[in-house]
Amino acid sequence: MWSVILNMKKLIITGFSGFVSSHFLDYLHENNIQVAIYGISRGKPRFDLAKYKDKLEIFYYEMDLMNRHELCKLVESIKPDYVLHLAAFSSVAYSWKYPEESFTNNCNIFMNLINAVKQSAPECRILSVGSSEEYGDVKHEDLPIRENQQLRPVSPYAVARVSQEQLSRVYVDAFGMNIIMTRSFNHIGPRQDERFVIPSFIKRILEIKNEGKAEGVIDTGDLTIIRDFVDVRDVVDAYYRLLAYGKVGEVYNVCSGEGRALSEIIQTIAHEVGVEISTRVNHEYIRPNDNKEIVGTPYKIETELGWKRQWTFNETIRDMIAYQSEMLTI
Amino acid sequence: MWSVILNMKKLIITGFSGFVSSHFLDYLHENNIQVAIYGISRGKPRFDLAKYKDKLEIFYYEMDLMNRHELCKLVESIKPDYVLHLAAFSSVAYSWKYPEESFTNNCNIFMNLINAVKQSAPECRILSVGSSEEYGDVKHEDLPIRENQQLRPVSPYAVARVSQEQLSRVYVDAFGMNIIMTRSFNHIGPRQDERFVIPSFIKRILEIKNEGKAEGVIDTGDLTIIRDFVDVRDVVDAYYRLLAYGKVGEVYNVCSGEGRALSEIIQTIAHEVGVEISTRVNHEYIRPNDNKEIVGTPYKIETELGWKRQWTFNETIRDMIAYQSEMLTI
């Protein structure tokens, strides 16, 4: 059975304090997967680890993956069977402002990780989480994007992610390492940080509602941008399957297959919340060089690994609104 | 006239203490190009700067390009018109042993440089020197390689170089920076460090000769590897033309167009030196994952910039032997 393959194994999760990690823990917990978790992140998790205690053994290490020496020692002491590499500086906007930091905290941390694993746990399976941003400049006729699409990254963040993927291939081919790669499209869901685009829309629309208004205006960036949003709970199901069964050296889209313009999403949120929203473009939010449309096809992961998304877009939005409403009222 | 366009301009050369830089200075000197040179490197040049004094104004700065703050201050104070970015850790073999250092000293230093230039000299033209290693895994039917070939890097070094090039494109497209890129094939010539493959062959063959022997055996790596070797004096001519006239955002092969197996080159050297050489493969010299054949076409740089190589392969080898013989006898 697919769910038990990680039982009794040792799994390192980098980026442990993050949004995706918390959903991955939920997933393991709900599916009774008894894996020992070694969480690494720079900041302590803000979610409660106690709720997993009945089923999951969790060890936490506060560490910067840039600290190569510490990381090597830790991996040596754990000798993991699996690594789920979630750690990233995943904001494109940030990478335009701080390209060096973005690069270092995406590409260089990954290199430190794979070298540490190569040294002391060479058989370990690593899921290298990448980004749909790697595709970059894609022509409309190439949509939805398949994995064999040529990569034309258009931001410093995207270049760093392409490097991460290319390094993965080099380490698979040259050293026989067991690395599986993703190009993960925009994920959304409850508990996502409000700096990300959809939670930030929800927050501002809920604020308008909570002020007792029936309508309001929000400032936005370019709303004609079309992206493929996938529920984080579907994403973690994909990651589990890829860790367990993904083909080494292969890259998989993790996406919904549906494209939505940001303008449409704002109206979906407004409708759910029950207010009228109009928008105003703020040029400060416009990025130097953005891809208009990024929509993938999940065909490969569906056919190879039996993955299928469970949450519709509207369900996800409703759950996010419910979560953020609760946060606002606490 | 092509040669005067840099006259009275300010040119930063990174990797100033290196082999290519010394030939670039010779080139400027011989062609009476009166440009002010701001050389940056981590170690002092081992070549004599005094010989250029009659025509070239040269300032030297000992600095690590990883030191972002110092670099920004320096670029701010110079406000260069041109940058010839030669600094690199250009050994593929080194990158297999020390992938992180290779990455940092190729990709991250470049990012530091372009950010420094973006801040205080945004109109500056930058020549970003890359590598034929970026092509990586190329099918025989795709030879000789043109610039539109898909990049499939197969070493950590090559991945770092691809990142450098992709970052260049991002900065051209997003910020309108004036960056021209090369994919430079293996360059050889007098004064090349003996750790590189051809000088190391010459050194060992000259030693056999100097011991008074008529024949000898040398240990080698995989001699079936075919590469495109281009004389460094032709390379610096290409770099000058690219700095002056290359199209912004474009990448150019800098190559001879001729492929030669290492086995053939050893015999050429042996013949010139006048000894019989046989070879023995030492598996320590075999790299984890190497490209068998990398040969480019210089068509683009020839047609767009009127560049044409001046040195034949045999002339280059003779000059290298003459130079290294002199070194051995000093």
A2 assigned to some structural domain: no
Residues B50 and B154 in one domain: yes
A1 assigned to some structural domain: no
pLDDT for A328 equals 75
Q: Which of B115, B159, B107, B175 is nearest to A162 (CA)?
A: B159
pLDDT for A324 equals 94
Q: Which of A68, A67, A73, A329 is nearest to A210 (CA)?
A: A329
DSSP class of A106 = I
**ipTM for the predicted complex:** 0.88
Taking CB atoms and an 8 Å cut-off, how many pairs form between chains A and B? 80
Mark yes or no for CB contact A107/B103 under 8 Å: yes
Q: Summarize pLDDT for B97-153 with one digit per residue, the tens.
A: 999 899 999 999 999 999 999 999 999 999 999 999 999 989 999 999 999 999 999
Nearest to B104 among A108, A150, A288 (CB): A108
Least confident of A4-18, A125-139, B255-269: A4-18
- Return the bridge partners of B178, or none: B125
pLDDT at A183 over 90: yes
Question: Which of B113, B150, B159 to mutate against chain A (most A CBs within 10 Å)?
Answer: B159
B317 assigned to some structural domain: no
Cα nearest neighbour of A286 on chain B: B174
Cα nearest neighbour of B175 on chain A: A288
Percent of chain A at pLDDT > 90 equals 84
Residues A101 and A238 in one domain: yes
pLDDT band of residue A2 (cuts 50, 70, 90) is low
Q: Summarize pLDDT for B230-279 with one digit per residue, the tens.
A: 999 999 999 999 999 999 999 999 999 999 999 999 999 999 999 999 99
Q: Where are the alpha helices (DSSP H) in chain B?
A: 19-30, 68-78, 92-97, 99-103, 109-120, 156-175, 197-210, 232-245, 262-273, 299-305, 313-329
Q: Which of B100, B272, B287 is nearest to B198 (CA)?
A: B272
pLDDT at A90 over 80: yes
Residues B42 and B147 in one domain: yes
B318 assigned to some structural domain: no
pLDDT mean over B208-216: 93
Nearest to A174 among B111, B173, B288 (CB): B288
**Total number of residues shown for chain B:** 330
pLDDT at B190 over 80: yes
Cα nearest neighbour of B109 on chain A: A100
DSSP class of B151 = P
Residues B175 and B96 in one domain: yes
Residues B132 and B204 in one domain: no
B301 assigned to some structural domain: yes
Q: Which residues of B touch A155 (CB under 8 A)?
A: 170, 174
- Return the bridge partners of B14, or none: B40, B85
Mark yes or no for CB contact A162/B163 under 8 Å: yes
Least confident of A204-213, A242-251, B5-14: B5-14
Nearest to B153 among A68, A166, A289 (CB): A166
Residues B114 and B167 in one domain: yes
Nearest CA-CA distance, residue A51 and chain B, Å: 39
Nearest to A174 among B104, B150, B289 (CB): B289
Cα nearest neighbour of A175 on chain B: B288
> CATH number of the domain that B33 lies in?
3.40.50.720
The percent of chain B in helix, strand and coil, each rounded to the nearest 5, is 45, 20, 35
pLDDT for B5 equals 74
Mark yes or no for CB contact B173/A289 under 8 Å: yes
A78 assigned to some structural domain: yes
Mean pLDDT of the residues in chain A: 93
* Dist. CA A195–CA A317, nearest whole Å: 16
pLDDT at B330 over 70: no
Both tokens assigned to B220: 């080698």
Q: Which residues of A touch B66 (CB under 8 A)?
A: none
pLDDT band of residue A264 (cuts 50, 70, 90) is very high
Number of folded domains in chain A?
2
B1 assigned to some structural domain: no
Residues A157 and A208 in one domain: no
Residues A31 and A142 in one domain: yes
pLDDT at A1 over 60: no
Q: Which residues of A touch B96 (CB under 8 A)?
A: 174
Nearest to A111 among B99, B173, B288 (CB): B99
More confident residue, A222 or B76: B76
pLDDT for B167 equals 96
Percent of chain A at pLDDT > 70 equals 97
Residues B108 and B236 in one domain: yes
Residues A47 and A57 in one domain: yes
Percent of chain B at pLDDT > 90 equals 85
Q: Tell me the Cα Rg of chain A.
A: 20
pLDDT for B232 equals 98
pLDDT for B289 equals 64
Residues B62 and B157 in one domain: yes
Is residue B263 exposed (0-12), middle (13-18) or buried (19+ Cβ within 10 Å)? middle
Nearest CA-CA distance, residue A243 and chain B, Å: 24
Residues B91 and B144 in one domain: yes
pLDDT mean over B304-329: 94
Q: Which of A103, A272, A187 is nearest to B171 (CA)?
A: A103
* Residue A287 structural domain: 197-225+260-293+321-329
pLDDT at B86 over 90: yes
A166: how many CB neighbours lie within 10 A of its CB?
25
Cis peptide before A45 (omega within 30 of 0): no
Mean pLDDT of the residues in chain B: 93
Quick one: how far is CA A151 from the chain centroid?
19
A316 assigned to some structural domain: no
> CATH number of the domain that B201 lies in?
3.90.25
* Dist. CA A150–CA A134, nearest whole Å: 9
Q: Which residues contact B192 (CB under 8 A, 6 or more apart)?
A: B19, B198, B199, B232, B320
Contact B167, B201 (CB under 8 A): no
Cα nearest neighbour of A108 on chain B: B100
Nearest CA-CA distance, residue B208 and chain A, Å: 35
Q: Which residues of B touch A160 (CB under 8 A)?
A: 163
Mark yes or no for CB contact B99/A115 under 8 Å: yes
* Dist. CA A194–CA B26, nearest whole Å: 58
